[in-house]
Chains A and B, each alone.
Chain A
Amino acid sequence: MSRRSALRRAEARAALGFLSPWLVGFAVFTAGPLLASLWLSFTSYDAIGEPRWVGADNYRELARDPLVLKSLGNTLFYTVLHVPLTMALALGLASLLVAAGRWGPLFRTVFYVPAVTPPVAVGVLFLLLLNGQSGLVNRALRLFGVDGPQWTSDPAWIKPGIVLMGLWSFGTTLVIYYAALRNVPEQLYEAARLDGANAWQRFRHVTLPMISGALFFTLVVNTIASFQVFAEVYTMYFGTARTSAGAEEGLFYVVYLFRQAFEFLDMGYASALAWLLFLVILLVTLAQVRLSRRFVHYEGRR
């Protein structure tokens, strides 16, 4: 018995040793900055002088600052539209890919390519594509007799335009669904067919429960990513190639955070903004996890 526990300790040490590059990396590059930002959120710091302790001033300022609510609202609008649309689009195309048989892997790659496009390029690209006067999207709409909106310059259409751009990178979600769909045992469909289930019933009562784990996972990670969206929006409305019309509707939360940090050199306030976002994401994710108990079907669970 004691020999065995000695061996186990030795193995644990070895494991720790092999994990150490990641552990040290995590401590230095993730946990350290994380704690530092928590501390900075209670200071006034411009990255030039020394941080000065100001207590909860930054958090009090958060409550007063109308742009916090504005940017949070913009981000929420985007998240609420972007996440379900991405999931629906990815699921629809993944289903087609499964049906496409041996062509599936090829198209899977094709659909994934946009996900590796640099976000700045995506931002510039969509600024051109969505231009209400000369962009390709409205030109295409005109072919069908539709007079498209001013996606990049009409305040009412800027956020929908950004949602449209967000769909560009649905590839990751699609790849996950494709794998999940291919893992659904064929005999379940066969049994359902024998029971007289039609295509919709098979999808609703076999496919969806069987891939609910993947759906839940993509719901959580896409929601978090949507709350943190930055580069594409910054490029379109705040970078050098920007169009200034999006200064209000395109003011997403992380864009505002970046502005406070690197334009106004208010690192303390920016840190407080970051921790507020963390709390919001934490609460949303906890709510999702709670809801998931009712909808997600885990195989092998008793």
Chain B
Amino acid sequence: MRPRAALPPLLVVVLVLTGCGGLGAHRAEVRTGFADEPAGPLSTMGYSLPDEVARVRVDRFRQRYPAVDLRLNEGAFDEQQFLSALAGGNPPDLVYLDRADLPSYAARGALLPLDECFAVTGLDLAEFRPAAAAQVRYRGRPFGVPEFFVVRLVMVNRAVLAEAGIDLAGFDTADWGRLAGWARAMTRADGSRLLRLGVDPKIPDFFPLWVRAAGGELLAADGRTARLDSPEAVEALELARRIVDQAGGQGVVQAFRDGWDLFGARNPFAAGQLGASPMEDWYLNVLAQNSPTAPVAVLPFVDRDHRPLSWATGLAWAIPQGARNRAAACRMVREMTTPDAWVAAATAKRDARLARNLPYTGTYTAHVVADERVRAEVLRPTGIGWLDEGIAVIERAQGVAFALPASPAGAEVKRAWEDAATRALGGRASPADALREAQQRATAALARAGAR
């Protein structure tokens, strides 16, 4: 009878394995087309409910479509998780991801084109800012719907400028030679310890913005040709290297930056650790909340001819290939991005902040009409001069912001220029050599992507 002893453990293993396999099966019963009546479970990935702007719109969707059982898997979009879900044939119905990553998924056939969804809901990418809309189109077809529109502006510490004898009215980013001089004049150090960084160029993070300001572009409009070693790109990296070197080198500067408490009351502007830097627009909100009395001024980032310029990024909704509840996913994308939804969300956000005695500095979306209505119906002067001026600067920046072209190898190209900047700033290569190598890497990656 001994051999029979082998059976129970074997049986357990078999049961566990088959049991696991059965879990995903019942979901397959629901499968809807874009035009169907939305009902049943709707799963999302990458979207969270951190504030009123998210919660109010999600609540509106739930009320309007009570037959839909919305299941938000909160947390940031996780490539690994998304890929495993796709490979396992069990993708979420809706994903919320960076617009820069969207084309590479679309190119691989991981996302559904949304023409039919747009036809059903009347949604039209023409409603959105052109820069954002271009990011979610791939080979002429729409694969996503943009949400926020984050732009970059320059934030300066007025006290630091004054201490260095720099006139705020004459300060801008047009003349890079002068900018480097100002950066040196504002920098303070104690031996090898940096006490204040005069100008933080934020390279590699904001590299595309600087290159554009010099008149160059990192990617051609078709997203298939890299131009990482253009003279404009080299010049931008040389400026960053100069600023970093005169502050003590990348080792010191990066370590100093890593020590900043960006989201606290002792943020680099409040603590006088920074003279001037391009920043994302939402940082105005952080400052308004944590250090409303800091001596900050918000200026537009300008190109060589003093013309305002900005770089826009943001996230988008997309429906994966293999999504089971397309009807509900499509309705949710529409519902989350209507002007009515944005106005309701912005109003709730404003009221919540006012109730906590905090200034409300605006909600900036990729939807043109939504933004106009939020400005007209929701936004009120904060009564704090530099904040109100900052809001005006953000609004102007939105009109002149560009986005990087949609590219099927966006991630590889970005890594290439980031690595080049790190090498050049660390003194491991000249900006020109580092960018030449990056250009080779990016070109090879684009060629591989083009072969798909």
A residues at B contact (CB < 8 Å): 10-11, 13-14, 16-18, 20-21, 24-25, 28, 46-49, 127, 131-135, 147, 149-150, 152-155, 157, 240, 243-245, 247-248, 259, 262-266
Complex Cα gap A131–B7 (Å): 58
B116 at interface by CB-CB < 8 Å: no
Complex Cα gap A147–B17 (Å): 58
B445 at interface by CB-CB < 8 Å: yes
Complex Cα gap A272–B412 (Å): 19
Complex Cα gap A267–B80 (Å): 12
Q: Which chain A residue has the least Cβ–Cβ distance from B322?
A: A48
Q: Judging by beta carbons under 8 Å apart, are B259 and A134 in contact?
A: yes
The one of B86, B255, B448 in contact with A48, judged by C-beta atoms closer than 8 angstroms, is: B86
**For chain B residues 403-435, which have a beta carbon within 8 Å of chain A?**
409, 411-412, 415, 418-419, 422-423, 425-428
B22 at interface by CB-CB < 8 Å: no
Complex Cα gap A127–B251 (Å): 14
Q: Judging by beta carbons under 8 Å apart, are B3 and A10 in contact?
A: yes
B110 at interface by CB-CB < 8 Å: yes
Q: Judging by beta carbons under 8 Å apart, are A244 and B204 in contact?
A: yes
Complex Cα gap A159–B146 (Å): 41
Q: Judging by beta carbons under 8 Å apart, are A14 and B259 in contact?
A: no
The one of A28, A150, A240, A247 in contact with B255, judged by C-beta atoms closer than 8 angstroms, is: A150
Task: Say yes or no: A20-B428 contact (C-beta < 8 A), given A46-B108, A48-B87, A264-B412.
Answer: no
Q: Which chain A residue has the least Cβ–Cβ distance from B434?
A: A248
B109 at interface by CB-CB < 8 Å: yes
Residues of B within 8 A of A247 (CB): 418-419, 422
Contact with A along B213-251 (1 / 0, CB 8 A): 000000000000000000000000000000000000111
Task: Say yes or no: A244-B6 contact (C-beta < 8 A), given A21-B12, A48-B87, A147-B192.
Answer: no
Task: Say yes or no: A133-B10 contact (C-beta < 8 A), given A48-B83, A248-B422, A264-B412.
Answer: no
Q: How far is the CB of B255 from chain A (nearest CB, A)?
A: 4
Q: Judging by beta carbons under 8 Å apart, are B13 and A132 in contact?
A: no
A selection of 28 A-B contacts at a CB cut-off of 8 Å is: A10-B2, A10-B3, A13-B3, A16-B6, A17-B9, A18-B5, A18-B6, A21-B9, A47-B86, A48-B109, A131-B255, A133-B193, A133-B256, A134-B255, A150-B255, A152-B255, A154-B249, A154-B251, A155-B250, A155-B251, A157-B251, A243-B254, A243-B255, A245-B422, A248-B428, A259-B415, A263-B79, A266-B448
Residues of A within 8 A of B87 (CB): 47-48
Main secondary structure on B side of the interface with A: helix
Ordered nearest first, which 8 A-B pairs have the shortest CB separation?
A17-B6, A154-B251, A150-B251, A153-B254, A132-B255, A134-B259, A247-B422, A155-B426
Q: Judging by beta carbons under 8 Å apart, are B411 and A263 in contact?
A: yes
Q: Judging by beta carbons under 8 Å apart, are A263 and B109 in contact?
A: no
Complex Cα gap A18–B411 (Å): 48
Q: Judging by beta carbons under 8 Å apart, are A21 and B254 in contact?
A: no
Complex Cα gap A247–B438 (Å): 13
A10-B2, A17-B7 provided; 7 other pairs, C-beta below 8 A?
A10-B3, A20-B9, A48-B87, A152-B258, A262-B79, A262-B80, A263-B411
Complex Cα gap A265–B386 (Å): 45
Complex Cα gap A131–B80 (Å): 30
Complex Cα gap A257–B292 (Å): 45
Task: Say yes or no: A262-B83 contact (C-beta < 8 A), given A17-B6, A131-B259, A133-B256.
Answer: yes
The one of B9, B79, B192, B418 in contact with A18, judged by C-beta atoms closer than 8 angstroms, is: B9
Q: Judging by beta carbons under 8 Å apart, are B108 and A48 in contact?
A: yes
Q: Judging by beta carbons under 8 Å apart, are B419 and A248 in contact?
A: yes
The one of B84, B255, B411 in contact with A133, judged by C-beta atoms closer than 8 angstroms, is: B255
The one of B7, B250, B445 in contact with A154, judged by C-beta atoms closer than 8 angstroms, is: B250
Residues of B within 8 A of A133 (CB): 193-194, 252, 255-256, 258-259
Q: How far is the CB of A267 from chain B (nearest CB, A)?
A: 9
The one of B3, B5, B191, B426 in contact with A245, judged by C-beta atoms closer than 8 angstroms, is: B426
**For chain B residues 314-329, which have a beta carbon within 8 Å of chain A?**
321
Complex Cα gap A263–B256 (Å): 28
Complex Cα gap A39–B321 (Å): 25
Contact with A along B186-219 (1 / 0, CB 8 A): 0000011110000000001100000000000000
Residues of B within 8 A of A127 (CB): 258
**For chain B residues 121-138, which have a beta carbon within 8 Å of chain A?**
none
Q: Which chain A residue has the least Cβ–Cβ distance from B79?
A: A262
Q: Judging by beta carbons under 8 Å apart, are B251 and A244 in contact?
A: no
**For chain B residues 255-304, which have a beta carbon within 8 Å of chain A?**
255-256, 258-259
B173 at interface by CB-CB < 8 Å: no
Q: How far is the CB of B123 from chain A (nearest CB, A)?
A: 25
Q: Judging by beta carbons under 8 Å apart, are A155 and B427 in contact?
A: yes
Complex Cα gap A247–B416 (Å): 10
Residues of A within 8 A of B254 (CB): 150, 152-153, 243-245
